Chains A and B, each alone.
Chain A
Amino acid sequence: METKFGRIKVLYPKQRLIDKIKGHVEALNAGLKEAIKPGRITIEYPRERRELPDNFRGFLLFDVDACISCFQCAFVCPANAINMRGAPNGRYYPCIDYTKCIFCHFCADTCPRGALHRTKIHDVAFSDMDEMLATTEELLKPPEMIREDKYLVKYEIKDGDIVLVKEETVVELAERPKFEIRPAKVSACAHPENCIACTLCVMTCPSNAISTKVENGRRVLIIDPKLCTGCGLCVKECPTCALALIER
């Protein structure tokens, strides 16, 4: 090849015959070793399942009794996959659009009562795009599954090499992981001097916990802690930051 530095010739490495033979013998030896005792780490998936970590981000399930309709999941969702839909009881519950969901599980992390919780189910199939919008009813119970697996497979590192450890167990995938319920909060009028008595909070509250009364010529908020679920919607709605969530 002619270049401005002169003629360049690419030589290929000189090898002695003994080195060549050694290379061939090494290749044959390596092949034989693997043929006799292969170090394969394949998991035969439908029949075996890999052991998944406790916080595996899989299909989401929903516990309607724990939900306080705080909308936090819908607010935090980076992919806008969560819709809050009105239920007959006047509350709003999440629906998850799996066409958008990126399985970041911010919703499960942010849920104050652990109503949306993660499972280890990762093999969900939908027949069409419309079906991928999982409504609240569909989120209540785990999807229908045909389990073929008999073994649980773990990767372990032994002598610097990965080995497979098989165990003849069937794990429950939809099991609810341990969740520390955060201290229950309640809405309170932390800065009454800010209140302009717009009553937006009264209209917002889904559980009708807020009412008003007139005291000394001023309209004062009365929050019933028994009815208040601590969802914080009123705090978000308050234009003058008069309300705050405090611990019960």
Chain B
Amino acid sequence: MVTIFGLTISEIMNIMVKEGVSIPLIQPLIDFLLKIPIIQYVVALILWKPVFAVLILPGLGGLMISLLFIIWFERKLTARIQWRMGPLEVSRPIAGLMQPMADGMRYLFQEVIVHRGAHKPYFVQLPILAFIPILLPIVFIPAGSIYGINSPYSLIITVALLALIPVTIIAIGWASNSKFAYIGSVREAFMYFAYEIPFMIMVLGMIIIYGTADMATIVEKQGIWGAFLNPFAFLGILITTAMATSRLPFEIAEADQEIAFGPFVEYSGILFGLVMTLAYEKMYIMGLIVSVLFLGGGGGPAIPLLGDLSPAIWLFIKALAVMMVMAFLRSIYPRYRLDQALRIGWNSLISLSLLSLVVAVIVRFMGGV
């Protein structure tokens, strides 16, 4: 008898099926697949809630869909506002929605050039290593009953892991060993400190309001959305999200017009595809955090046909909405200079975050949530 961690395979199967995601819409299909010998293990594993959270929604699958959608949406919306047409020729009937997919294909077949001056091992492995702090926070973000790890410190862990992403970007810039990449990484480091401190303070304020750092509890406690409880923190976190994901008023580290994508200037091929999407992936995670903290997380009218999937879908839609607002900023703002952005970060944003902390304390003393 084969045992894993002292459990037989049938016992493991029982656990996975019992803790599986139940979706009434496709339940007959799942029941049918669970009867087929080998496939039943794969299906049970994928539908097991922790694995489902990481692999499908709000995890990797949601990340990929939002990535493909938001890149198209950003280009299309910016084009619309600037009186252009945007991507159109690839898949004309659906208004060029396949364009990011086509770009991804192009990246796959393009030659990856590792230039002579690069620190080769770091240059090649850092874009892949950068995925660790991107995918790990998803484990802690709950979507209703679908979550990877339920921890009382999940919000703090998520924010801490998010703070690691700029470190990988700075390392990418250093490994590129080129002038523009160096300038880009230094700018990224400056920006990192300008937004991270107000961001942490505002998250702290929200923890004070809810009295817990457990995201599942935070979502449960939001009778009134956090955005109305502490509008200053909401505004501040939207601005810091724009800064953290290098959206346009603060697109200083990448600045494609002056330093040609900054830290990522030397990358080509699929490695460029990986590093270019870093900011969007970070935006997705921050969108999830914003929707958990301020927009009621997975809360929303339950759709009976989707069962357990309903809160996950709501969370995904809310995160996508936050990302769409961020994409909208690109089309209306020019870029701040580094010193202006740092002034905003160290002056206005810190004031705003302290104000939001005061509001949080007042809300807490008024009775909390």
Contacts and interface: CB of A to CB of B under 8 A. Distances in A.
B332 A40 contact: no
Interface residues of B, number: 12
A34 B80 CA distance: 7
A42 B79 CA distance: 11
Nearest to B340: A12
Interface stretch (A23-31, A70-78, A179-187): A23-31
Interface in A1-44: 27-28, 30-31, 34-35, 38-42, 44
Contacts of A38: 80-81, 83
Interface string A28-69: 101100110011111010000000000000000000000000
Contacts of A39: 83
29 contacts: A27-B332, A27-B333, A28-B332, A30-B332, A31-B328, A31-B331, A31-B332, A34-B80, A34-B81, A34-B82, A34-B83, A35-B77, A35-B80, A35-B81, A35-B328, A35-B331, A38-B80, A38-B81, A38-B83, A39-B83, A40-B80, A40-B83, A40-B84, A40-B85, A41-B83, A42-B83, A42-B84, A42-B85, A44-B88
Contact of A31 (B81, B83, B85, B88): B81
Interface string B316-336: 000000000000100111000
Contacts of B81: 31, 34-35, 38
Contacts of B333: 27
B161 to A, nearest CB: 31
Nearest to B83: A40
A41 B80 CA distance: 11
Contacts of A28: 332
A30 B80 CA distance: 12
Interface in B42-91: 77, 80-85, 88
Nearest to A34: B81
A39 to B, nearest CB: 6
A42 B86 CA distance: 11
Interface of A: 27-28, 30-31, 34-35, 38-42, 44
Contacts of A40: 80, 83-85
Nearest to A17: B348
Contacts of A27: 332-333
A39 B81 CA distance: 8
Contacts of B80: 34-35, 38, 40
B132 to A, nearest CB: 36
A41 B88 CA distance: 16
B85, B88, B332 — most chain A CB neighbours (10 Å): B332
B355 to A, nearest CB: 13
A40 B328 CA distance: 18
Contacts of B77: 35
Contacts of A42: 83-85
A38 B80 CA distance: 6
Nearest to A30: B332
Contacts of B83: 34, 38-42
A106 to B, nearest CB: 37
Nearest to B331: A31
Given A31-B328, A34-B80, A40-B80, 8 more contacts: A28-B332, A31-B81, A34-B83, A35-B328, A39-B83, A40-B83, A42-B83, A44-B85
A68 B84 CA distance: 50
A42 B88 CA distance: 13
Contacts of A35: 77, 80-81, 328, 331
Nearest to A41: B83
A231 to B, nearest CB: 52
B45 to A, nearest CB: 43
Nearest to A28: B332
Contacts of A31: 81, 328, 331-332
Q: Which of A28, A30, A41 has the most CB of B within 10 A?
A: A28
Contacts of A44: 85, 88
A31 B82 CA distance: 9
Nearest to A36: B80
Nearest to A27: B332
Nearest to A40: B83
Contacts of B331: 31, 35
A36 to B, nearest CB: 9
Contacts of B328: 31, 35
A97 B34 CA distance: 75
